[in-house]
Amino acid sequence: MTLSAQLRNLALAVCATALLFTSTASAAPPAATATSLRIDASAKGTPFPHFWEQMLGSGRASLALRDDYRKDLDAVHQATGVGYIRFHGILDHDVGLVQRDPQGKISYNFSYIDQIYDGLLEHGFKPFVELGFMPPELTSDPAALQAFWYRPNVAPPKDYAEWDAMIGALAKHLVERYGIDEVASWYFEVWNEPNIGFWAGKPQQSTYFTLYDHTVRALKAVSPRIRVGGPSTAQAAWATDFLAHVHKNNVPVDFVSTHVYGDDTADNVFHTSENIPRADMVCRAVDKVHKEIAASPYPHLPLIFSEYNASYANLPNVTDTVFMGPWLANTIRECAGKVEAMSYWSFSDVFEEQGIVRNPFYGGFGLIAANRIPKPAFNAFAMLHKLGDKRLVVGSDSALATRRDDGSVVIALWNYAPPVGNTASYTPGEPAGAPKHFSLDVRHLPAGAHATVWRLDATHGNAVAAFDRMGRPDSPSREQIVQLREAGKLAAPESVKANNGKFEITVPVQGLVVVELR
């Protein structure tokens, strides 16, 4: 590292330190914006289920057999309340379910499927079963391969009788192995994003509806208790048409699923020319589909966004950085009350859609980078897990106030700013904006209540800062990996006295703070 680089890093560290917790006696930084919040700890509140930590996405099914995948599962389980895992490829060739002998006879091998689902259950998770993609032995077009590195086949089946038989055999096996009470607690989703490059049927919508109809009927023939839904579309599409189709044809449906990403365009999602910010796109889409379900013949069907993230691309200044803390907190604030579950894509960078990971911070979707290095987004999930299940009124678009069953008040505060860079190449630099200074007055707290404060920002829980100082090596040494894991840990909390429920917090740009009052 050059002397000038060392001096620059020192200057950045000094600036960051100046933004740390301020007591009631401390003045807000001169450039900070000021917000006063009053919260009634005794208010009745409204239900606030943790919809954002019901489910997480992951790399394709066969990766669930790997040791590093399962270690990342354990880390997520310990830090959050996530209950379901969803992945592509349970029907792909590398899982080995379907074989066809030289005489054309089909048989099934459940060995890897059993190991995959046994592993999820043993590590504290339930499967959200995405039924895809097409086994090569059943495909109508062997050349219909999607662009992912592992090249899944996305054609319709050559013979729907063979598809129906496979789906029925899979469901029967799962019920025999795990019991119907367990399997009835899972979700079964038909395919993935049939409205874009993951379905080669023509026309896409009508041929997908045929696939859905066959699949749900084959599953329900095994047990009507198996939960099935769709259309699992990209860009929050098809919900109205899908529900009209199943209603007209008396086809079972137990939930609606779809996807959206923060950088999807208004043209693709809403068919408008609006410029919708990354901070708002996901929840604008959630609101759209929520209203479509309410206006349908099934107004009370659960809505599941089975994929979402701030970006559908590999953008290292987005998914790898502390930007994700405020983005995630704001997404939770905006989406609350409109969705049953949202599945962040994904929990780990044990992930190979674009090929084998070359650099631990390449803009992967995971909460945990390669080599089991926690990203800032992982710490954001761990911090926001502390929120209660009753939401209290708070007059800010940069705050959430909640109460837990034990009476503790938990508040999230954040300072959203756009990412520094928006390309596949990492862009060093400081985000634009000023610190936010919050003056809080939490009324009706028990006498002697004190505040415990967790932070995520440039100098707290941020492995990327340490990675930058290392020169962003493609292959960190074993010693560097240990250092990065340590740098990525959730920072130790601060304990601060709340004077009759009054205290002050300064949050730096792209910072997230969670305060527990008890």
* Bridge partners for 513 per DSSP: 413, 455
* Bridge partners for 127 per DSSP: 85
> Can you tell me which residue has the tokens 């290292």?
316
The phi-psi region of residue 290 (left if phi > 0; otherwise alpha if psi is between -120 and 50; otherwise beta) is: alpha
- Reading across the β-sheet that carries 33-40, which strands appear in turn? 33-40, 436-443, 502-507
Q: How far is CA 345 from CA 259, 367, 450, in A?
A: 10, 9, 36
* Bridge partners for 443 per DSSP: 40
Pull the structure tokens for residue 205.
């919508």
> Is 486 known to be catalytic?
no
Side-chain-facing half-sphere of 239: CA atoms under 13 Å: 32
> Is 307 known to be catalytic?
yes
Q: Please list, in sequence order, all residues whose beta carbon lies within 8 angstroms of the beta carbon of residue 410, skipping any fewer than 6 positions away.
A: 386, 387, 388, 401, 402, 403, 404, 514, 515, 516, 517
* Residue among 53, 130, 193, 292 flagged as catalytic: 193
How many degrees, rounded to 5, is the angle at CA 475 between CA 486 and CA 8? 65
Tell me if residue 284 falls in helix, strand or coil.
helix
β-pairing, 46-47 with 55-57? unpaired
The three-state (H, E, C) secondary structure of 117-145, written as one string: HHHHHHCCCEEEEEECCCCCCCECCCCCE
* Residue among 130, 137, 307, 504 flagged as catalytic: 307
Task: Give the active site residues.
Answer: 193, 307
